[in-house]
Structure 1
């Protein structure tokens, strides 16, 4: 579960953390506030996607088991990872207060994005 102190990961490197978790005004959603370290804030773009990293993903089928594990830290604490889609023009950096949907897990294609984002 996401809680205060949960790490925010970019390419499996910790770049921030969750600072607050509370119910929305109508109790229909959970609002999670994060803080990205200033030197990494430029990595979060308006079209970035965020997903929950639970540490271990186990799939069992007729052919056997498939086990995927994240970093040792994410095994213990979990985390929230993010990435930015590859496109010809990189959208502007997200501003403070920008909202994103937290997906329960990453789509396979998101894990392949290697968007080059120049440091300002």
Structure 2
């Protein structure tokens, strides 16, 4: 068989979709977990209960509430700090009570998400 015929057959096969190998399926990009409204509301409710039980003796934990200890910022003041994001709030919550000479309080890692979710409900919506 002449070389040009082999090349013509190969070219026809490559250019014909039936002969072309199927493209590899693209891996679906992992979808970020987005909390459902119910789980977000549930988390915020758990955070509110945690705040009332563990934070209210020092901080104002409800909208328009003052802190019993003036040096402890009200939650509403914290979440309305310019530039605050959910990530920076979680970091702040984790690291903000590391002054043993002033307070002996630690927020368990499993409580951070729900407390943060509750606190963010106190943001001004302007």
Which of the pair has more CA radius of gyration? 2
TM-score (norm 1): 0.24
Larger fraction in helix: 2
TM-score (norm 2): 0.23
Larger fraction in strand: 1
